[in-house]
Amino acid sequence: MTEKLYDLDSYIKEFTATVLECDERDGRYKILLNKTAFFPEGGGQPSDIGFLDDIEVFDVRESGDKIYHYTDKPLKKGEEVKGRINFERRFDFMQQHSAEHIASGIANKLFGCENVGFHLSEDIVTFDFDKMLSREQINEIELLCNKAVFENNRIKAYYPKKEELKNLEYRSKKELDGAIRIVEIENADICACCAPHVNKTGEIGLIKLLSTEKLRGGIRIELKAGNRALTDYNERYEATRKIGEMLAVKYNETYEAVERLNNNLSEQKAQITDLKRRILEMRAESFNPKSDKTAEFLENADMKELQAYADKLYKKAGGIRGVFSLKAEGEYSFVICGEADELSEFFAEFKSKFTVKGGGRNGMVQGSVIAEKDSLSSVFLK
291-314 average pLDDT score: 94
Q: Of all helices (H) and strands (E), which one includes residue 263?
A: helix 254-285
Strand order in the sheet with 182-185: 155-158, 182-185, 189-192
- 126 bridge partner residues: 119, 222
- The radius of gyration of the chain's CA atoms, rounded to the nearest angstrom, is 33
Q: Is the pLDDT of residue 382 over 80?
A: no
pLDDT tens for residues 179-225? 899 999 998 999 999 999 999 999 999 999 999 999 989 999 999 99
Predicted local distance difference test score (pLDDT) of residue 174: 65
Please give the mean pLDDT across all residues of the chain.
94
Predicted local distance difference test score (pLDDT) of residue 175: 63
- Reference 51, options 67, 72, 25, 22; nearest CA is 72
Q: What is the pTM of this model?
A: 0.76
pLDDT tens for residues 90-112? 999 999 999 999 999 999 999 99
By CB neighbour count within 10 A (0-12 exposed, 13-18 middle, 19+ buried), where does 226 fall?
buried
Predicted local distance difference test score (pLDDT) of residue 176: 61
